[in-house]
Amino acid sequence: MSVLDLVREDLREFAGYASARRANVTGNIWLNANESPWKNDADNGLNLNRYPEPQPQQLVKRLAALYGVDSAGLMITRGSDEGIDLLTRAFCKAGQDGVLIAPPTFGMYAVCARVQNAMVFEVPLIDGETQWQFDLPAVLEKIRQEPIKLVFVCTPANPTGQSISLDEIRALAKASTDKAIIVVDEAYAEFNETPSATSLLGEFENIVVLRTLSKAYAMAAARVGIVMAQENIIRVLRNICAPYPVPTPCVVQALAGLDEGNIELAKQRAAISVSERSRVYKKLQDMKSVKKVYASQGNYLLARFNDAEKSFQSCLSAGVVIRDMRANPVLTDALRISIGTPDENDALLKALENL
Protein backbone atom coordinates (compact mmCIF):
# COMPACT_ATOMS: atom_id res chain seq x y z
CA MET A 1 0.00 0.00 0.00
CA SER A 2 1.23 3.49 -0.88
CA VAL A 3 0.75 6.52 1.35
CA LEU A 4 -1.19 7.99 -1.59
CA ASP A 5 -3.92 5.46 -0.87
CA LEU A 6 -4.68 7.58 2.22
CA VAL A 7 -5.41 10.61 0.04
CA ARG A 8 -9.07 11.27 -0.77
CA GLU A 9 -9.92 9.14 -3.80
CA ASP A 10 -11.26 12.11 -5.75
CA LEU A 11 -7.96 13.98 -5.33
CA ARG A 12 -5.44 11.24 -6.17
CA GLU A 13 -5.34 12.14 -9.86
CA PHE A 14 -6.40 15.76 -9.44
CA ALA A 15 -3.95 18.05 -11.22
CA GLY A 16 -5.20 21.34 -9.79
CA TYR A 17 -5.40 24.67 -11.57
CA ALA A 18 -2.91 25.08 -14.40
CA SER A 19 -1.89 28.69 -13.77
CA ALA A 20 0.12 30.70 -16.25
CA ARG A 21 3.24 30.40 -14.12
CA ARG A 22 2.98 26.61 -13.88
CA ALA A 23 3.42 26.33 -17.63
CA ASN A 24 7.04 25.50 -18.47
CA VAL A 25 7.60 28.32 -20.95
CA THR A 26 10.10 31.18 -21.27
CA GLY A 27 10.17 34.43 -23.20
CA ASN A 28 10.82 38.16 -23.09
CA ILE A 29 7.30 39.42 -23.67
CA TRP A 30 4.73 37.99 -21.26
CA LEU A 31 1.20 38.05 -22.63
CA ASN A 32 -0.17 34.83 -21.12
CA ALA A 33 -1.58 35.84 -17.69
CA ASN A 34 -3.68 38.97 -18.32
CA GLU A 35 -1.32 41.00 -16.15
CA SER A 36 -0.62 44.69 -16.49
CA PRO A 37 2.37 45.34 -18.76
CA TRP A 38 3.19 48.44 -16.67
CA LYS A 39 4.70 48.48 -13.20
CA ASN A 40 3.02 50.33 -10.38
CA ASP A 41 4.83 53.55 -9.45
CA ALA A 42 5.36 52.11 -5.96
CA ASP A 43 6.85 48.87 -7.32
CA ASN A 44 10.34 49.40 -5.84
CA GLY A 45 11.87 46.81 -8.16
CA LEU A 46 9.63 43.95 -7.03
CA ASN A 47 7.86 43.35 -10.37
CA LEU A 48 4.52 43.40 -8.64
CA ASN A 49 2.68 43.59 -11.96
CA ARG A 50 3.68 39.95 -12.56
CA TYR A 51 2.37 36.89 -10.74
CA PRO A 52 4.99 35.22 -8.53
CA GLU A 53 6.31 31.68 -8.89
CA PRO A 54 3.81 29.21 -7.39
CA GLN A 55 6.72 27.83 -5.36
CA PRO A 56 9.67 30.28 -5.47
CA GLN A 57 12.58 27.99 -6.16
CA GLN A 58 15.30 30.15 -4.67
CA LEU A 59 13.49 30.22 -1.33
CA VAL A 60 12.56 26.53 -1.54
CA LYS A 61 16.25 25.64 -1.97
CA ARG A 62 17.31 27.98 0.84
CA LEU A 63 14.80 26.41 3.23
CA ALA A 64 15.69 22.86 2.16
CA ALA A 65 19.33 23.59 2.96
CA LEU A 66 18.36 25.15 6.30
CA TYR A 67 16.35 22.09 7.38
CA GLY A 68 18.53 19.46 5.71
CA VAL A 69 15.89 17.98 3.40
CA ASP A 70 15.47 17.43 -0.34
CA SER A 71 13.88 20.46 -2.02
CA ALA A 72 11.42 18.15 -3.83
CA GLY A 73 10.01 17.26 -0.43
CA LEU A 74 9.39 20.85 0.70
CA MET A 75 6.50 23.21 0.06
CA ILE A 76 6.01 26.83 1.16
CA THR A 77 2.59 27.82 2.49
CA ARG A 78 0.93 30.97 3.85
CA GLY A 79 2.00 30.23 7.39
CA SER A 80 1.71 26.80 8.95
CA ASP A 81 -2.04 27.37 9.15
CA GLU A 82 -2.35 26.80 5.41
CA GLY A 83 -0.30 23.62 5.67
CA ILE A 84 -2.69 22.30 8.32
CA ASP A 85 -5.67 23.21 6.16
CA LEU A 86 -4.26 21.61 3.00
CA LEU A 87 -3.44 18.37 4.80
CA THR A 88 -6.94 18.20 6.26
CA ARG A 89 -8.57 18.77 2.88
CA ALA A 90 -6.29 16.31 1.11
CA PHE A 91 -6.71 13.37 3.48
CA CYS A 92 -10.10 13.74 5.18
CA LYS A 93 -13.33 12.90 3.39
CA ALA A 94 -16.06 15.15 4.80
CA GLY A 95 -18.26 13.35 7.29
CA GLN A 96 -16.23 10.12 7.14
CA ASP A 97 -12.63 10.66 8.24
CA GLY A 98 -11.21 12.29 11.33
CA VAL A 99 -8.20 13.94 12.91
CA LEU A 100 -6.71 13.24 16.32
CA ILE A 101 -5.56 16.03 18.63
CA ALA A 102 -4.16 16.09 22.17
CA PRO A 103 -5.79 18.99 24.01
CA PRO A 104 -5.08 21.48 25.32
CA THR A 105 -3.36 22.24 22.01
CA PHE A 106 -3.14 24.67 19.10
CA GLY A 107 -6.68 25.54 18.02
CA MET A 108 -6.23 25.49 14.24
CA TYR A 109 -6.16 21.68 14.05
CA ALA A 110 -9.77 21.46 15.19
CA VAL A 111 -10.80 24.56 13.22
CA CYS A 112 -9.51 23.15 9.92
CA ALA A 113 -11.11 19.78 10.67
CA ARG A 114 -14.50 21.31 11.36
CA VAL A 115 -14.37 23.49 8.23
CA GLN A 116 -13.74 20.28 6.26
CA ASN A 117 -16.51 18.50 8.24
CA ALA A 118 -13.96 15.99 9.48
CA MET A 119 -14.44 14.36 12.86
CA VAL A 120 -12.23 15.48 15.75
CA PHE A 121 -11.01 12.78 18.14
CA GLU A 122 -9.35 13.88 21.37
CA VAL A 123 -6.82 12.20 23.65
CA PRO A 124 -6.14 14.77 26.38
CA LEU A 125 -2.64 15.47 27.61
CA ILE A 126 -1.76 14.27 31.10
CA ASP A 127 -1.32 17.12 33.58
CA GLY A 128 1.92 16.03 35.22
CA GLU A 129 3.67 17.30 38.32
CA THR A 130 6.16 19.51 36.46
CA GLN A 131 5.00 19.34 32.84
CA TRP A 132 2.27 18.01 30.59
CA GLN A 133 2.70 14.58 29.01
CA PHE A 134 1.61 13.09 25.70
CA ASP A 135 -0.49 9.97 26.36
CA LEU A 136 1.07 7.67 23.77
CA PRO A 137 -0.71 4.41 24.75
CA ALA A 138 -4.13 6.10 24.63
CA VAL A 139 -3.31 7.73 21.29
CA LEU A 140 -2.24 4.40 19.78
CA GLU A 141 -5.48 2.80 20.98
CA LYS A 142 -7.58 5.63 19.55
CA ILE A 143 -5.84 5.32 16.17
CA ARG A 144 -6.61 1.59 16.19
CA GLN A 145 -10.29 2.11 16.96
CA GLU A 146 -11.34 5.17 14.95
CA PRO A 147 -11.31 6.34 11.28
CA ILE A 148 -8.40 8.73 11.86
CA LYS A 149 -6.47 10.03 8.85
CA LEU A 150 -4.33 12.74 10.51
CA VAL A 151 -2.63 12.73 13.92
CA PHE A 152 -1.48 16.23 14.91
CA VAL A 153 1.55 16.18 17.18
CA CYS A 154 2.56 19.62 18.40
CA THR A 155 6.14 19.59 19.72
CA PRO A 156 7.00 21.70 21.60
CA ALA A 157 3.30 21.80 22.34
CA ASN A 158 1.36 25.06 22.33
CA PRO A 159 0.32 26.17 24.94
CA THR A 160 1.60 23.48 27.30
CA GLY A 161 5.30 23.49 26.34
CA GLN A 162 6.33 19.82 26.49
CA SER A 163 8.18 18.12 23.65
CA ILE A 164 7.72 14.63 22.24
CA SER A 165 10.66 12.31 21.65
CA LEU A 166 11.63 10.88 18.28
CA ASP A 167 11.03 7.40 19.71
CA GLU A 168 7.40 8.35 20.40
CA ILE A 169 6.97 9.81 16.91
CA ARG A 170 8.55 6.69 15.44
CA ALA A 171 6.11 4.51 17.41
CA LEU A 172 3.19 6.60 16.14
CA ALA A 173 4.34 6.32 12.54
CA LYS A 174 4.80 2.56 12.77
CA ALA A 175 1.40 2.04 14.34
CA SER A 176 -0.23 4.28 11.72
CA THR A 177 1.33 2.73 8.62
CA ASP A 178 -1.35 2.37 5.91
CA LYS A 179 -3.84 4.11 8.21
CA ALA A 180 -2.91 7.70 9.12
CA ILE A 181 -0.47 10.56 8.55
CA ILE A 182 1.52 11.80 11.55
CA VAL A 183 1.76 15.60 11.29
CA VAL A 184 4.57 16.89 13.50
CA ASP A 185 4.14 20.61 14.10
CA GLU A 186 7.55 22.03 15.00
CA ALA A 187 6.74 25.74 14.99
CA TYR A 188 8.93 26.21 18.08
CA ALA A 189 11.69 23.74 17.18
CA GLU A 190 14.49 26.31 17.45
CA PHE A 191 13.86 26.58 21.21
CA ASN A 192 13.64 22.81 21.72
CA GLU A 193 16.33 20.44 22.98
CA THR A 194 14.68 17.44 21.29
CA PRO A 195 15.95 16.72 17.73
CA SER A 196 13.70 17.48 14.77
CA ALA A 197 11.45 14.84 13.21
CA THR A 198 12.87 15.79 9.80
CA SER A 199 15.40 13.01 10.47
CA LEU A 200 12.52 10.53 10.15
CA LEU A 201 11.22 11.70 6.77
CA GLY A 202 13.37 9.25 4.84
CA GLU A 203 12.33 6.39 7.12
CA PHE A 204 8.55 6.86 7.08
CA GLU A 205 6.18 7.68 4.22
CA ASN A 206 3.49 8.81 6.64
CA ILE A 207 5.31 11.57 8.52
CA VAL A 208 4.84 15.26 7.66
CA VAL A 209 6.79 18.01 9.43
CA LEU A 210 5.60 21.62 9.69
CA ARG A 211 7.94 24.55 10.34
CA THR A 212 7.60 28.33 10.21
CA LEU A 213 9.65 31.51 9.95
CA SER A 214 7.22 33.27 12.32
CA LYS A 215 8.96 32.47 15.60
CA ALA A 216 12.74 32.17 15.86
CA TYR A 217 13.30 33.90 12.51
CA ALA A 218 11.15 36.90 13.51
CA MET A 219 9.08 37.03 10.30
CA ALA A 220 5.53 36.43 11.54
CA ALA A 221 4.11 39.13 9.24
CA ALA A 222 5.71 37.53 6.16
CA ARG A 223 3.50 34.43 6.61
CA VAL A 224 6.03 31.83 5.49
CA GLY A 225 5.15 28.31 6.57
CA ILE A 226 6.93 25.14 5.49
CA VAL A 227 5.59 21.63 4.87
CA MET A 228 8.12 18.81 4.56
CA ALA A 229 7.26 15.25 3.57
CA GLN A 230 8.07 12.67 0.94
CA GLU A 231 7.71 14.06 -2.57
CA ASN A 232 4.46 12.26 -3.43
CA ILE A 233 2.62 13.98 -0.56
CA ILE A 234 4.08 17.38 -1.48
CA ARG A 235 2.86 16.90 -5.06
CA VAL A 236 -0.71 16.31 -3.85
CA LEU A 237 -0.65 19.39 -1.63
CA ARG A 238 0.71 21.60 -4.42
CA ASN A 239 -2.11 20.49 -6.69
CA ILE A 240 -4.82 21.60 -4.25
CA CYS A 241 -3.07 24.78 -3.11
CA ALA A 242 -4.00 28.27 -4.33
CA PRO A 243 -2.19 29.16 -7.58
CA TYR A 244 0.12 31.83 -6.10
CA PRO A 245 0.40 31.30 -2.33
CA VAL A 246 3.64 33.19 -1.68
CA PRO A 247 3.66 36.97 -2.43
CA THR A 248 6.84 38.33 -4.00
CA PRO A 249 7.55 40.88 -1.19
CA CYS A 250 7.38 38.04 1.35
CA VAL A 251 9.81 35.96 -0.71
CA VAL A 252 12.26 38.87 -0.95
CA GLN A 253 12.08 39.49 2.81
CA ALA A 254 12.38 35.80 3.63
CA LEU A 255 15.49 35.39 1.48
CA ALA A 256 17.07 38.42 3.12
CA GLY A 257 16.09 37.12 6.56
CA LEU A 258 17.74 33.78 5.82
CA ASP A 259 21.16 35.01 4.78
CA GLU A 260 24.10 33.65 6.74
CA GLY A 261 24.22 36.57 9.16
CA ASN A 262 20.53 36.47 10.00
CA ILE A 263 20.55 32.70 10.50
CA GLU A 264 23.36 33.11 13.03
CA LEU A 265 21.52 35.98 14.69
CA ALA A 266 18.36 33.86 14.96
CA LYS A 267 20.38 31.14 16.72
CA GLN A 268 21.83 33.67 19.15
CA ARG A 269 18.44 35.15 19.95
CA ALA A 270 16.90 31.70 20.39
CA ALA A 271 19.63 30.95 22.93
CA ILE A 272 18.76 34.17 24.78
CA SER A 273 15.08 33.19 24.77
CA VAL A 274 15.93 29.77 26.23
CA SER A 275 18.03 31.39 28.95
CA GLU A 276 15.30 33.93 29.71
CA ARG A 277 12.70 31.16 29.76
CA SER A 278 14.67 29.49 32.53
CA ARG A 279 15.00 32.74 34.48
CA VAL A 280 11.30 33.63 34.22
CA TYR A 281 10.33 30.05 35.09
CA LYS A 282 12.32 30.18 38.33
CA LYS A 283 10.94 33.60 39.24
CA LEU A 284 7.37 32.47 38.68
CA GLN A 285 7.94 29.39 40.84
CA ASP A 286 8.81 31.67 43.76
CA MET A 287 5.73 33.90 43.46
CA LYS A 288 2.89 33.42 45.93
CA SER A 289 0.35 34.41 43.26
CA VAL A 290 1.42 31.48 41.06
CA LYS A 291 -0.03 28.06 41.85
CA LYS A 292 1.99 26.20 39.25
CA VAL A 293 4.24 26.88 36.27
CA TYR A 294 4.97 24.17 33.74
CA ALA A 295 8.37 23.35 32.28
CA SER A 296 8.50 24.33 28.60
CA GLN A 297 10.60 23.73 25.49
CA GLY A 298 8.98 26.62 23.60
CA ASN A 299 9.45 30.39 23.83
CA TYR A 300 6.57 30.63 26.32
CA LEU A 301 5.46 29.39 29.73
CA LEU A 302 2.04 28.24 30.89
CA ALA A 303 1.22 29.05 34.50
CA ARG A 304 -1.75 28.60 36.82
CA PHE A 305 -2.59 31.51 39.14
CA ASN A 306 -4.46 31.82 42.43
CA ASP A 307 -6.32 34.74 40.88
CA ALA A 308 -5.80 34.65 37.10
CA GLU A 309 -8.06 37.65 36.47
CA LYS A 310 -6.19 39.84 38.94
CA SER A 311 -2.84 38.72 37.50
CA PHE A 312 -4.00 39.33 33.94
CA GLN A 313 -5.27 42.81 34.78
CA SER A 314 -2.11 43.68 36.71
CA CYS A 315 -0.07 42.92 33.60
CA LEU A 316 -2.39 44.94 31.39
CA SER A 317 -2.14 47.89 33.79
CA ALA A 318 1.63 47.76 33.32
CA GLY A 319 1.24 47.64 29.54
CA VAL A 320 2.19 43.95 29.38
CA VAL A 321 -0.12 41.79 27.25
CA ILE A 322 -0.15 38.05 27.95
CA ARG A 323 -2.47 35.30 26.67
CA ASP A 324 -5.61 34.50 28.65
CA MET A 325 -6.20 30.73 28.46
CA ARG A 326 -9.20 30.53 30.79
CA ALA A 327 -11.73 29.76 28.04
CA ASN A 328 -10.20 26.28 27.83
CA PRO A 329 -12.10 23.99 30.24
CA VAL A 330 -8.89 22.51 31.70
CA LEU A 331 -7.05 25.85 31.93
CA THR A 332 -9.61 27.94 33.81
CA ASP A 333 -6.90 29.47 36.03
CA ALA A 334 -4.11 29.64 33.44
CA LEU A 335 -2.25 32.33 31.51
CA ARG A 336 0.37 31.82 28.80
CA ILE A 337 3.40 34.08 28.84
CA SER A 338 5.60 34.57 25.77
CA ILE A 339 9.28 35.09 26.48
CA GLY A 340 10.33 38.60 25.47
CA THR A 341 13.57 40.53 25.71
CA PRO A 342 15.23 40.66 29.14
CA ASP A 343 13.77 44.14 29.72
CA GLU A 344 10.29 43.03 28.67
CA ASN A 345 10.52 40.02 30.96
CA ASP A 346 11.57 42.31 33.83
CA ALA A 347 8.45 44.42 33.23
CA LEU A 348 6.29 41.28 33.29
CA LEU A 349 7.83 40.03 36.53
CA LYS A 350 7.46 43.43 38.15
CA ALA A 351 3.77 43.55 37.23
CA LEU A 352 3.19 40.13 38.79
CA GLU A 353 5.33 40.87 41.84
CA ASN A 354 3.21 43.97 42.49
CA LEU A 355 0.33 41.66 43.34
What are the structural domains, with CATH classification, of the chain? 3-258 (3.40.640.10), 269-353 (3.90.1150.10)
Average pLDDT for residues 293-320, to the nearest whole number? 97
Per-residue pLDDT at 265 exceeds 90: yes
Confidence band, pLDDT 50/70/90 cuts, at residue 32: confident
What pLDDT, in 10s, does the model give residues 3-20? Answer: 988 999 999 989 888 888
Residues above pLDDT 70, as percent of the chain: 100
Query: For position 26, what pLDDT does the model report?
Result: 82
* Long-range CB contact pairs, 265-271, < 8 A, 24+: 266/190, 266/216, 266/217, 266/218, 267/190, 269/216, 269/218, 270/190, 270/191, 270/216, 270/299
Per-residue pLDDT at 24 exceeds 80: no
Paired strand residues for 172: none
Average pLDDT for residues 90-117, to the nearest whole number? 97
Angle between helices 136-145 and 166-175 (to 10 degrees): 20
Integer angstrom CA distances of residue 7 from 149, 232, 294: 9, 11, 38
Strands 290-293 and 224-228: unpaired
